[in-house]
Structure 1
Amino acid sequence: MLSARTARRIALCTTGAATLAALTLGGLVVLDRTFPPPLPEKLVVSAEVVDRDGQLLRAYATPSGHWRLGVGLDDVDPALVKMLVAYEDKRFWEHEGVDLLALGRAAWQFASNGRIVSGGSTLSMQLARLIEPRAERSFSSKLRQLVRAVQIERRLSKQQILERYLTLAPYGGNLEGVRAAALAYFGKEPKRLTVSEAALLVALPQLPERRRPDRNPNNAQVARDRVLGRMVTAGLLGEAEAARAALEDVGTTRLALPAMAPHAADLALRNAPGIVRHQLTLRKSVQAGLEAVAREAGQRLGPRISVALVMADAMTGEILGEVGSADYLDATRSGWIDMTRTVRSPGSTLKPFIYGLAFEQGLVAQETLIEDRPADFAGYRPKNFDMSYQGDVSVRQALQLSLNVPAIRLLDAVGPQRLTARFRQAGVTPSLPPGEVPGLAIGLGGVGVSLRDLVQLYTGLANGGRAKVLRDGTETSAPAPLANGTILEQQAAWQVADILAGVRAPEGAAKRSIAYKTGTSYGYRDAWSIGYDGRYVLGVWAGRADAGAVPGLSGYVSAAPILFEGFARSGLPAMPLPQAPTGALRLARADLPVTLERFSSAGQLPTVVAAAVTEPAPQIVFPPDGARVELGAASGSTSPLVLKLQGGRAPFRWLANGKPLDAIERRREATWQPDGAGYSTLTVIDAAGRAASVRVFVE
């Protein structure tokens, strides 16, 4: 039995030991908080731009010049993670940062062999060395790693430690992190690797320069095979599987990291410089195809000539592919200039909208004859591209042949202001010289638009007359939806598509059912081609970025082949053009009413006829423009609507949504039987060719 004195001594020693332990622990906590490891909340990683599906389009080096892409465990093949843990730190999931058994084994091997046989560093210790690199290898630096490893384990989860290691580990040269290494050495993300590839990526960080496969393939192969052997020992691989993996060659080429969509990627970074990951609406496969088409076309067209393309989904306005130049790095072509956004003369590419308005107003049908002869419009004398004239042609032929005089005749009738107003409804404001108002010259390219503007306008033709605002993900805010995106009524848009679908494809072009139009600006400065199917719109521009003339450059010869090739190599499925909507017909010439047999605007009538026209122009007095008419459409049985007009010269031809009514009326009153509820356009044309239209809503 202990004496009282002995008991007091034991109690005193116990208290002292407990106090010392508490002070030591408290001191360690204070030191831990005073000297924390440098663990930023977010690592400095490369900015990256990805497509709509998250695939990497373009990466940017860090300020230090390294390729270091952010990575999560979900982005890495699980087999690689298992190999890494088994090879580097098999008790990783159990220890608290330091593996005492591994350290003891390493010390014993060093004492027995006089050299380092195996290391005792854990993955946490290796992460400590990565975040605080030290050139010397000393006892103090190793001790510091031990302390840092414990600190790291107290602050990060095991998954976070692995993610940081896989982000910072060196892989040779300026490659850091497993994603950059997988892309550079194998050309793919580390999500699905072969056994051989995973083993090589496990082996590289220990001696990244000595084992670089692009410089030291033999060393890389030996290191990979060593990892495969260890995996057999650890039970992660069978001997046969490891043997098959060892037969794979180690690649000897370092690939460039993806560098697609440079103009869009640069803009995304400029608009949001603080964001690391930028997602665009582009589709990588489409972008790759269009970039290849632009690059090859630029080489084919000759030096200093660039090419730009924009492909969009007409239903949503999302851009699926955009190429700003033939070669971003080619200074002779000014490749850094984004020609999809540069304002240029559109040539004849606006003509379809002129014809569409004429169809909409009931001025012409596809087989209406129109004159292609020299004409004078108050001093403006348009000429055809080839300086020749065709005489009398159908409206269909005039648009397909892109004849200038017929287009200006129709524009004079529908009005340039109305045309530009429709452009504004579609979200595009053409560029005019300061103080100038729209004139007839805009029909032949006397206005400024960009390739993106044109594609946005043509989404209206592909989408039943309603345009969509283009977006690619570089915008700083979501584009506001169009208040009224109608550029043409549905029936008129179909008439235009039906004509453009009949334009002959360029010689040698892949067959594709598209409606398309070409254009050439004045002086052979710009060649355009823009086409669409039932879903997608593709626009092409070719020319010099400095607006220099290129003799022989034209839309049909230079740009149209690029259009068809772009559709073919986009990889997108061919979508059929829409069927004719209700009320849209293509009448034979023999079936046309007399007022639609030949187009003649009031300003172009022969003098003898003009002098004989004494009546005022026709005017529809009922229903008034914009009226809502209750005819029982909701019940499915509409009543006929009485139509009344004033003025004009009999006989009169009435049209509803571009479709002629059955009879030609000499009276100023007619009836119309609507075929359903909704908006309709009513047009009357008198014997002098003058027209009036109203738009009503039938209920």
Structure 2
Amino acid sequence: MAVLVLTGYYFCLPDPLFHAPYSTVIESRNGELLGARIAADGQWRFPESDSIPGKFEQCVLHFEDEYFYYHPGINPVSAMRALWQNIRSGKVVSGGSTITQQVIRLSRKGRKRTYLEKGIEAVLATRLELGYSKKSILNFYASHAPFGSNVVGLDVAAWRYFGVQPQQLSWAESATLAVLPNAPALIYPGKNQEELLKKRNRLLHKLFEKRVLGETSYRLAVAEPLPQQPFPLPRHAPHLLQYGGNRRPGRKTRTTIDYSLQQRVNDIVKQHYNVLKQNDIYNAAVLVMDVKTREVLAYTGNSPTDKAHQKDVDIIHAPRSTGSIMKPLLYAAMLDAGEILPQTLIPDIPTQISGYTPENFDPKYDGAVAADHALVRSLNIPFVRMLQEYGLERFRDKLESFRLRDVNKPADYYGLTLILGGAESNLWDLCKTYAALAGTVDHYTATSSEYYSREFTEPVWAEDQEADFGKPGTEKTVFDAGSIYLTLRAMQELNRPDGNQAWRYFESSRSISWKTGTSFGNRDAWAIGVTPDHVVGVWVGNADGEGRPGLTGATSAAPLMFDVFGALPRSSSFKIPYDELAQTEVCRNSGYLATPMCPAVKRQVPRSGTRTAPCPYHHLVHLDSKRQFRVNSSCENITDMVTEPWFSLPPVMEFYFRKNHSDYKTLPPFRADCFTEDRNSMDFIYPPEGKNIILPKDFDGNTNPLVVKIAHSKPGTSVFWYLDEEYIGTTQTFHEMSILPDAGKHLITVIDRNGMELRRWIEIER
């Protein structure tokens, strides 16, 4: 029988003791409260704390149970005194419960307060004392005691009534909270103030008498006013609370957030929001990460807007059109593959590919532009042509390495628009990718030229997480460190927003590699910057997708990004990964590998770049003795020819290139007595092959003509124009012809005086 009783006594205590749902709570890396979400039962109840402040402990012990550390869960003297008082009064006027018994009563909520229940509580209290330390029992009490209204537990009570952490409570504040659980339904801040004040001051006087408080501390404490109404809980990172709460509901999580930086970023976003909303732009998001640890340091998921403008939407994880923000990935991919060098000339001319006609943001053409300048200026046409050359399917497969979860369609779905915003991604994944690029260079230069197998790892936001970089090795993760370094170096040359253009001339300036992006229709503005230490990602726009004039990455997102960088410690520049770079001779004019025919300069290129194609734009030409005309053996003795290398672009590239480069010299024409067949001297500029053209009408209803243009490498050459085999005119020097054909298919034919012929089919729609 005794064994059964002992067994029953051993197992009588529930485990766990409390089953109540808890609030979801997030703290900064140093323990400051960032935000909390109410528990499922509508109570503000923080998860159990592992300790309580000394001031509150003294207050609650002197108010509730002075002999807490000396009794085994029940205090017979207090119990007998309470019984005698109740018998004399004919009703329950005193409970005589210890703190341990109150913990049991809190765990058995809803039970009627009868003598039988008191007996059960007494048994369970002694069992609780055997299973837990006194400190743990005190923590149970502090975590589950009611403090009035829907406030449960010391942690949340300190915030709701005084707006501070429990460790920051004064003696008066601690005493106020110590007396509240005694009658939380009758007295709490804002209600029955006189009764609350009497109880608090009575407790403070007792502490003074017991010499817990000195006279000065006592007088200052009783002079403190009572709180009049609850404080709102901090909301420094509401969208991180939303994100983390979905993964860790009902838990207290210490995050990696830097508290002061989070507040500063919130202030910066608010300042920019107040300006942006004047242009009906209402949403913005900022993510700051540590490159070396991949820890999230600041997480502002939206601007301080209102419900009408989706203030609760977490933009950081929302899929949005990427604009040009992925161009550095293609640039690095082609460097890594040895298919371009940083200064390789890329065509920037009117382009149509399978019915797709990309255009630059500034509707002008350079003819040819260095690849790094195309990246710096974010030119669309060169990058579409680069993507076509690299291979759409191949680049789409490469993006799989970055684990961009919203890029989840096959290559054919996106087409060549993939590089201009045809795909969607989110700020979290893009910052993760840029951090991995920077981390690759950091790790490579910090180790013995090694890569980490999981460089593109997920960021971490909770302190108990740690980024898994995998194992070091000699195999590159995605791109080699040299290609990434040259990409990041090129990204430092972007023109900064107003007021920052002369950054490199100041010693205190920051070296930042950054890129902007603007989606079609000015719906999304991006800016992502990276240093060896930090990544700052910014998105600006409207959460409902409404575009706004003037909403661009350069004008709306970049200024915000640079202000956030201003709140971060200054970082050094990226170190050069020498083992992944090679010094080689590059053609000064074209950026290709030098040949004996072109003037060369030494440049650092990726090791794979030493295998790129040699310059195709330099070739030897034969001139007469005065260097006025080209000649050949049909018209000039070989001994009288002057042979020299010449930089010459194809006709359409040359047509635009020479407008922007006054030092460009076109090839001299052949002397009239020379026989030649030059098959590459002219090309169509407009219209593209097979294009369907709609001729617009003016205000009078008259149909405007179509202007057809060609480029010819020989200035002054006569060109004869035909429409559907009928002669329509001749041009010389400026080769443009206005035509007004009927609806339907038509053939345009041009023939120069040397017999070179070009044909182009078009279709006119009316």
TM-score normalised by L of structure 1: 0.71
Contact 1:533 1:574 in 2 (8 A): no
Q: Structure 1 residues 147, 395: CA separation in 2 closer, same or farther (over 3 Å shift)?
A: closer
Q: Structure 1 residues 221, 655: CA separation in 2 closer, same or farther (over 3 Å shift)?
A: farther
1:528 to 526, 536, 539: 526
2:513 pairs with 1:515 = yes
Deviates more, 1:57-66 or 1:195-204: 57-66
Question: 1:473-510 deviations in whole A, cap 9, x for unaligned?
Answer: 58999998689774433223222222322333323679
2:210 pairs with 1:234 = yes
Amino acid at match of 2:487: V
Q: Structure 1 residues 86, 419: CA separation in 2 closer, same or farther (over 3 Å shift)?
A: same
Amino acid at match of 2:199: A
Q: How far apart are residue 559 of structure 1 and its match?
A: 1.2
Question: 1:449-478 deviations in whole A, cap 9, x for unaligned?
Answer: 222232122123322457522234589999
1:120 maps to 96
Deviates more, 1:357-366 or 1:548-557: 357-366
How far apart in 2 are the matches of 1:109 and 1:90? 19
1:505 maps to 496
Q: Secondary structure at the match of 1:191?
A: helix
1:308 maps to 285
Q: How far apart are residue 520 of structure 1 and its match?
A: 0.5
2:585 pairs with 1:597 = no
1:75 maps to 51
Higher strand share: 2
Contact 2:582 2:605 in 1 (8 A): no
2:462 pairs with 1:470 = no
Q: Structure 1 residues 653, 506: CA separation in 2 closer, same or farther (over 3 Å shift)?
A: closer
Q: How far apart are residue 528 of structure 1 and its match?
A: 0.8
Q: Structure 1 residues 367, 272: CA separation in 2 closer, same or farther (over 3 Å shift)?
A: closer
How far apart in 2 are the matches of 1:438 and 1:136? 67
Contact 1:372 1:406 in 2 (8 A): yes
Question: 1:261-310 deviations in whole A, cap 9, x for unaligned?
Answer: 4445445454466x734555444444444445445544543357322333
How far apart in 2 are the matches of 1:424 and 1:475? 28
Contact 1:75 1:191 in 2 (8 A): no
1:66 maps to 43
Q: Secondary structure at the match of 1:685?
A: coil
Contact 2:588 2:600 in 1 (8 A): no
Q: Structure 1 residues 255, 325: CA separation in 2 closer, same or farther (over 3 Å shift)?
A: same
1:621 maps to none
How far apart in 1 are the matches of 2:495 and 2:596? 40
Written as runs of structure 1 = structure 2, the 5 A alignment for 1:25-44 is 36=12, 40-44=16-20
2:288 pairs with 1:320 = no
How far apart in 2 are the matches of 1:292 and 1:88? 44
Q: Structure 1 residues 357, 149: CA separation in 2 closer, same or farther (over 3 Å shift)?
A: closer
Q: How far apart are residue 66 of structure 1 and its match?
A: 1.2
1:576 maps to 572
1:640 maps to none
How far apart in 1 are the matches of 2:146 and 2:435? 48
How far apart in 2 are the matches of 1:309 and 1:294? 8
Amino acid at match of 1:311: V
How far apart in 2 are the matches of 1:477 and 1:507? 40
1:243 maps to 219
Q: How far apart are residue 225 of structure 1 and its match?
A: 2.4
1:338 to 314, 319, 330: 314
Q: Secondary structure at the match of 1:682?
A: helix
Q: Structure 1 residues 516, 148: CA separation in 2 closer, same or farther (over 3 Å shift)?
A: same
1:436 maps to 412
1:276 maps to 251
Q: How far apart are residue 382 of structure 1 and its match?
A: 2.4
Q: Structure 1 residues 657, 425: CA separation in 2 closer, same or farther (over 3 Å shift)?
A: farther
Q: Which runs of 5+ in 1 are unaligned?
A: 1-22, 601-617, 619-647, 661-678, 691-699
Written as runs of structure 1 = structure 2, the 5 A alignment for 1:259-408 is 259=235, 261-271=237-247, 276-278=251-253, 280-294=255-269, 297-302=272-277, 305-326=282-303, 330-360=306-336, 372-377=348-353, 379-390=355-366, 395-408=371-384
2:654 maps to none
Q: Structure 1 residues 231, 315: CA separation in 2 closer, same or farther (over 3 Å shift)?
A: same
Q: How far apart are residue 254 of structure 1 and its match?
A: 1.6
How far apart in 1 are the matches of 2:426 and 2:477? 20
Q: Structure 1 residues 140, 375: CA separation in 2 closer, same or farther (over 3 Å shift)?
A: closer
2:611 maps to 683
Q: Secondary structure at the match of 2:176?
A: helix
Q: Structure 1 residues 519, 101: CA separation in 2 closer, same or farther (over 3 Å shift)?
A: same
Deviates more, 1:520-529 or 1:218-227: 218-227
2:484 pairs with 1:493 = yes
2:151 pairs with 1:175 = yes
Contact 1:124 1:153 in 2 (8 A): yes
Cα-Cα RMSD: 4.4
Q: Structure 1 residues 130, 342: CA separation in 2 closer, same or farther (over 3 Å shift)?
A: closer
Q: Which runs of 5+ in 2 are unaligned?
A: 442-450, 504-508, 619-766
Q: Structure 1 residues 348, 152: CA separation in 2 closer, same or farther (over 3 Å shift)?
A: closer
Q: Structure 1 residues 402, 141: CA separation in 2 closer, same or farther (over 3 Å shift)?
A: same
Deviates more, 1:256-265 or 1:554-563: 256-265
Q: Structure 1 residues 420, 559: CA separation in 2 closer, same or farther (over 3 Å shift)?
A: same
How far apart in 2 are the matches of 1:252 and 1:461? 53
Amino acid at match of 2:519: S
Contact 1:312 1:470 in 2 (8 A): no
Amino acid at match of 1:550: R
How far apart in 1 are the matches of 2:221 and 2:527? 51
Contact 1:459 1:537 in 2 (8 A): yes
Contact 1:363 1:596 in 2 (8 A): no
TM-score normalised by L of structure 2: 0.66
Amino acid at match of 1:276: R
Amino acid at match of 1:50: I
Q: Structure 1 residues 164, 280: CA separation in 2 closer, same or farther (over 3 Å shift)?
A: same
Q: Secondary structure at the match of 2:554?
A: helix
1:86 maps to 62
Q: Secondary structure at the match of 1:230?
A: helix
How far apart in 2 are the matches of 1:654 and 1:431? 41
How far apart in 2 are the matches of 1:318 and 1:689? 48
Amino acid at match of 2:613: I
2:13 pairs with 1:48 = no
Q: How far apart are residue 46 of structure 1 and its match?
A: 0.9
Q: Structure 1 residues 151, 421: CA separation in 2 closer, same or farther (over 3 Å shift)?
A: closer
Q: Structure 1 residues 596, 344: CA separation in 2 closer, same or farther (over 3 Å shift)?
A: farther
Contact 2:337 2:608 in 1 (8 A): no
Written as runs of structure 1 = structure 2, the 5 A alignment for 1:601-612 is none
How far apart in 1 are the matches of 2:144 and 2:465? 33
1:461 maps to 437
Contact 1:599 1:689 in 2 (8 A): no
Contact 2:393 2:411 in 1 (8 A): no
Q: Secondary structure at the match of 1:256?
A: coil
Q: How far apart are residue 576 of structure 1 and its match?
A: 1.9
Q: Structure 1 residues 420, 319: CA separation in 2 closer, same or farther (over 3 Å shift)?
A: farther
Aligned residues: 593
Contact 1:368 1:596 in 2 (8 A): no
How far apart in 1 are the matches of 2:424 and 2:4? 74
How far apart in 2 are the matches of 1:364 and 1:434? 26
Deviates more, 1:295-304 or 1:520-529: 295-304
Contact 1:308 1:542 in 2 (8 A): yes
